[in-house]
Structure formats: C-alpha cells, structure tokens
Structure 1
Amino acid sequence: MTAGSLGSQNFAYQAIGAATLLALFVASLFVGVGELAIGSLASDPEALRLIMISRLPRTLAALLAGSALAIAGLVMQTLARNRFVEPSTAGTAQSAALGILVVTLVWPDASLGWKAAGAAVTALAGTSVFLMLAHRLPPTQPFLVPLFGLVYGGVIGAVAIFAAWHLDLLQYLEVWMTGEFSGILRGRYELLWVAGALVVLAWWTADRLTMLSLGRDVSIGLGLNYAGMLRLGLVIVSAITALAVVVVGTIPFVGLVAPNIVSRFAGENLRHTLPWVAGGGAALVLACDIIGRLIRFPYEVPVGTILGVVGAVLFLFLLLGRNRNG
C-alpha cells in the first residue's frame, strides 16, 4: 500500500468517525420524552429553552464523560502495563465513591467541587495501592491483573456499601455507583470540563506516557523521569474518575473497551491513538445513553446498566479474540 493510498484510507476513517459522532450528538439532542423538531427551535422559545437547559448539557456531559473515561482507561493500562484494566474494574471508581461518602458524612452541605476533591484523594490512594500490588503479580500471567482488580474493587465497594448501610446512606451511594444522565441540567455538568482539560494534558504528555509503558528500566534509560510521570498518570486517572463519579456516577467498561478496540487497528502509539480513543469513548457513551432512553420509552434505563451489558459482551469478544490470535 502506497503512502498516498494509506493517507486516503486514514482520512476516510477520520471522516466516518467524525460523521458518526456528529450524528450521535444531534440524535441525543432530539431524543427524549419532550417532542422536539429542528424547525421548532427558531419559532418555539420553549423548545430552545429545553435544548439549552436539559438536552445540550446532557449531551455534552455524555461526550465529556465518555471521552475522559476512555482516556483514563488508556492511561491506567499504560501505568499497569496491562490492556485489561480500567478505573471501574481496578478499584478507582469504588474508591472515589467511598471518598464521596466520607465527605458527605463529614460535611453534608459540601459542594460538588469539594466532593470531587475528596473523591480524587481516595481514588488516588486506591489506584496507587492497586498498581503497587499489581506490579508484584507474575508478568507472564496477564489475566491475573484484571482478576485481581475485580476482587480489589469488589472489596472496596463492599466496604462502601457496609458503611452506607450502617449510616443509612445507601440511596446516596446508589446514585454514585450507577451512572446515569437523567439528572444532568445546566449548572450541574460543568465540572466535566475539568476532565476535558485533563484529556488535553494526557495528549500533551502522550509521548512520555508511551515511553512509560516500556517499563521502568527502559524509560529511565531513555531519559524519562519515571517517578514523576507515574505520579502524573495517577493524578490524571484519579481526577477524571472522581469527576465522572461525582457528576454522573460510575460508568463501567468505557476505559476498557474503547482503548482495546482502537489498538486493534491504530497500534500502541498514544500520540496517534489518543484522539481515536477519546472519540470512541464519547460515541460509545452517547450511543448507550440514546439506547437507554428508547428501550423503555418514555422511561429511561441508566447508561451504566446499558454499558454493563454492552461492555461485558465487547470485553468477552476482546478476550476470545486475544486467545484465538495468541
């Protein structure tokens, strides 16, 4: 294949990806209980008000949360040097929910910003412990890391559930453990723009993160500040996960499925794959949110439930594909 044909093929893929994401974005604006038509936006003030207060913030929240969680999964896989881990299956999301529970208990009137800060601290601690223990597992058994992550996250989640039950806060905890966008309105999703800024930071440091994936000895030999980049990666993963859990709740499998699908056709270079991963995560969350609104119309199924099913199927496909291809 010549360089010209390869460039044309890449451009075609980019055009298809952009068109798909744009179609999902527009569909998300006009799918819901309240009937809307594109022509009514210019003549009906109530239709425009509904778009600006509810539909547009919800769509932007899904876009930002999906892209940020996909990048957080990609960065976590780089830190763990394992393609089958992500924040919701490695204790990060559960640690963030536990942090919100602690902040709510200590400071019931805390704002979303302070809850996000508390969640980020506990998510950072939980992720650090996971990586410290995961690096002790045999590198020849890659499936031990995700299995350990599931057990580790389950233990932290059980601690959070027990504490919430003891304190009569189970309903609050359920909100943070189940991702859904029905409560997103203007004024409630804006913290996710911080997660978007962290995605930009991840792209800016993509080359150094790629070097980090080569291991401690190799990356230090190439002149990388290994400890500093490891801390930065932990901060990116923990902050993105905490912001997502605080605003929309736990959304599983996005950070696992999107990076693995992209790596199948785009390789492992983070500088090249990062925009694809972000777009894939955003499209996956938007699509599942639209399905959740339609599957029991006029009622809604939380996007976390839809993604739990879709993500599990895709995860099994990735595992079986890996076994079949060695």
Structure 2
Amino acid sequence: MSLASLFVGVSDLTPLDLLRGEGDKIQVFVISRLPRLAAILLAGAALSVAGLIMQHLTRNRFVSPSTAGTTEWAMLGILVATLFFGGTSVMGKMVTAIVFALFGTFLFLRLLRRVQFTDMIVVPLVGLMFGGVVMAVTTFFAYRLELMQALNTWTTGDFSGILRGRYEIIWLVVVVMIVAYLYADRFTVAGMGEDFAKNLGVSYNTVVNIGMIIVAITTAVVTVVVGAIPFLGLIIPNLVTMVLGDNLRRVLPFTALAGAGFVLVCDVLGRVIRHPYEIPVGTVASVIGAVVFIALILRARRPRSL
C-alpha cells in the first residue's frame, strides 16, 4: 500500500520514470511523495498509540485525544502562538501547542476524578462538550482576528501540503513512541487502578503524568504539521485490543501499524475519489470513524448473555 501511494497523485509518476532518471519526476518523488508517505505513517501510528495510552490510563474505551479536548487545546495553543508570536517557527508553535494540550488534558483528568460516572459512554460525551467549548473560544478569536483560514488548516488533517523541509518535526513522534513502548508495562499496571499499581510498587501519579505528556506531545506535533484526524486514536486501539487483548506492550506495535495503515488507506481514497481533486484525509477518516464509533457504542450497550 505504501509503494502504491507513492505513485498516486495529480502529477503522473511511474516507477519507469524514476528508472529513466527524469529530473522533474525524481524531484516530485523526493520533495513531495516520500515526505508525504513518511508523514502519513508517522501521524497514523503516533495518534493511535496516544489513544491506546489514554484509554488504558483513564480505563475507558471511548477516551482519546479527539474526545477529551486534547486536540482542541492544541489548536488553541497554535492560535495563541500565531497571534502573539506571528513570526515564530514551527518549533515555537509546537511548544505552545504542547503546553496548552498538557493543560487541557490534565484539566480533563481532574474533572474525571472529581465526578464519578456510572456509564462509560458519559465520559467521552463530557470530553466532547469540553472540547466543543474550547473550540468555540478558538473559533471566536480566530473569526475576530481574521485567522479563520489558518484555523481551518489545523481543524482538518490534510497531507497535500507536506513537502521536504516542512514536515521533519513530525519525526519527533518516533522518540515519543519509543518512550511509550519502554513504559508499556507500567501503563498496563496503572490502567488497573491506583491502589493496584501502588501495591505492585508502581508510582501511579508519575506513570499517569508521563502518559499524558506523551499524549500531549503527540497530539500537538501531529496537529501542527498535519492537522486534526478525528476518531483515529479512538477506533484503532479499540479494534486492535478486541482481537489481541489489553497487554499494552503486546498490542502497542500492532496498534501503531494499524493506525498507519488506516491513515494511508484514507489518504489514498481521498486522492482517487475525485481525482485530480483531493479530499482531505481528515474528512475521509471522519466518515469511516463515525460509522465505526457508532458500532462500538452499540456493541458496548448490548447486554452480554450469561
């Protein structure tokens, strides 16, 4: 699938063109197609892993960066960086987005600890409302300050603008995913509850903080470079754990692979449905993800037979 995606796009490009050494074709391949493929795979893998960690630590299958307000807080951070530090680099916007995403994520967790919900579906609904309020504030200021066009580039994930020299910061998520894998066993234990983790000698608060930092960094980096990709961090971890179980160290590599594949499929579909025009990957992922999300909710609500 990755090889096929390298030769799908507006510019006609075939493997034979590369073998002939045609300069223009090689430039398209190196400057556009290879960076785009790398960004697709990294973004899909990273957001899926972030969703998996978040679901384990909150012990709720329907919590993810897109249903807990993390993505919306990252967008607000990017808007603030654009407003007050207009000439700042992508790194500056990313750092600001990470700070806002961390603040929003910990605020959401604090809300969950203060309020006890009897229904697991209520938690993501609260997160969606929480994120909706933050997004409303962001949209208000973007509209008043004539930054709506810039805001739209962050609200919908799109890989059409990925070029060499404008995407390299996303490689940071590789380091983040390595840290996530190293802490996988601790995340699994922490997901069993604070008392259980402490009985096994695991510092529950430290592990939760590290997990939330991973989620915030991943969400902020992907949002700055690509934009928001809805439902990715929610449906992929659910589908993988339904098949392979809840051992995070075991399922984390498969979750990353499945997330990368899902985004890749969505991107290729977006490029071929209305060729030569392109549908943003965020739109395609929203349609597919919404259907799967509804199916997961219905499955969770279905009474289990004894």
TM-score w.r.t. length of structure 1: 0.91
The letter of the residue matching 2:12 is E
Are 1:87 and 2:65 counterparts? yes
State the 1:75 CA deviation: 1.0
Which residue of the other structure, out of 251, 257, 267, is the alignment partner of 1:273? 251
Tell me, yes or no, if structure 1 residue 29 matches structure 2 residue 3: no
Mapped contact 1:80–1:135 kept (Cα < 8 A):
no
* Secondary structure of 1:89 counterpart: coil
Q: What is the Cα deviation at residue 37 of structure 1?
A: 1.2
Instruction: Tell me which residue corresponds to 2:42.
Output: 64
Matches within 5 A, 1:254-269: 254-269=232-247
1:138 Cα deviation from its structure 2 partner = 2.9
Runs (5+) with no aligned partner, structure 1: 1-23
CA–CA distance in 2 between the matches of 1:228 and 1:88? Answer: 23
Post-superposition offset of 1:135: 2.7
Superposition pairs of residues 56-205 of structure 1, within 5 angstroms: 56-205=34-183
After superposition, the C-alpha distances for 1:106-163 in whole angstroms (9 at most, x for unaligned) are 1101100110000000000000011111233435311110110110010000010011
Deviation at 1:325, TM superposition (A): 5.8
Q: How many angstroms apart in 2 are the aligned matches of 1:202 and 1:325?
A: 34
Which amino acid letter does the alignment assign opposite residue 266 of structure 2?
C
**2:257 is aligned with what amino acid?**
G
Question: After superposition, where does 1:180-259 map in structure 2 within 5 Å?
Answer: 180-259=158-237
Give 2:292's aligned residue. Answer: 314
Query: Which structure 2 segments of 5+ residues have no match?
Result: none
Match of 1:19 in 2: none
Q: Residue 291 of structure 1: CA displacement?
A: 0.5
Cα deviation, 1:238-288, whole Å, max 9, x if unaligned, reads 000000010001111110011000011100000100001000100000100
Tell me, what secondary structure is at the counterpart of 2:302? Answer: helix
What is the alpha-carbon root mean square deviation over aligned residues? 1.0
Aligned length: 303
